[in-house]
Amino acid sequence: MRIGFGYDSHRLVPGRALILGGVHIPSTLGPEAHSDGDALIHALIDALLGACALGDIGQLFPPSDEQYRDISSRILLQRTLGLLSEAGFHPRNIDSTVILESPRLGPYVEQMRGTLGMDLGIPAAAISVKAKTKEGLGPTGQGLAVEAYAVALVEEN
Ligand code: MG
């Protein structure tokens, strides 16, 4: 067993779709990003890569590379799982926290767990997504950014 940790944040701007954990969330603001800016999946990718000491998302999918423009982060997650598999590992369970002031994410958590479970090939029961706010504190609390933290446990095949 090995453990990995990941973090991501994106500035929120008008005119971008808000996608978190692969789920589209109705919002007037969305992440400024080269890809679709799914901060939860980005944190998760870094946690999975970190567990296997395979580098980080910026090295593997550089924002300077045009092939990743507006790409679904679920595709990046699939490629990450391929790298894990080549290295001889598979994910066992995930814990995560998403911090967003508005809209409230509670109603979407179950859908995120199901989507991530499908992508990771593990039951939703092994995937935790916790939604928090910063109660108005700091830039994220003022609704200027979304943040996500993730921990992943992986097992050698
Ligand atoms: Mg990101």
Q: Which pLDDT tens digit goes with each residue over 81-116?
A: 999 999 999 999 999 999 999 999 999 999 999 999
Distance 87 CA to ligand 1 centre (A): 23
| Ligand 1 centroid distance, CA of 20 (Å) | 11
Rounded distance from Cα 137 to ligand 1 centre (Å): 22
State how far the Cα of 48 lies from the Cα of 155, in Å rounded to an integer: 11
Q: With bands split at pLDDT 50, 70 and 90, how would you rate the model's confidence at 44? A: very high
Query: Mean pLDDT over all residues of the chain?
Result: 97
CA distance 69 to 47: 22
CA distance 5 to 8: 11
Whether the CB-CB separation of 151 and 1 falls below 8 Å is answered with no
Ligand 1 center–CA 34 separation, angstroms: 8
Rounded-to-integer distance, Cα 43 and Cα 97, Å: 10
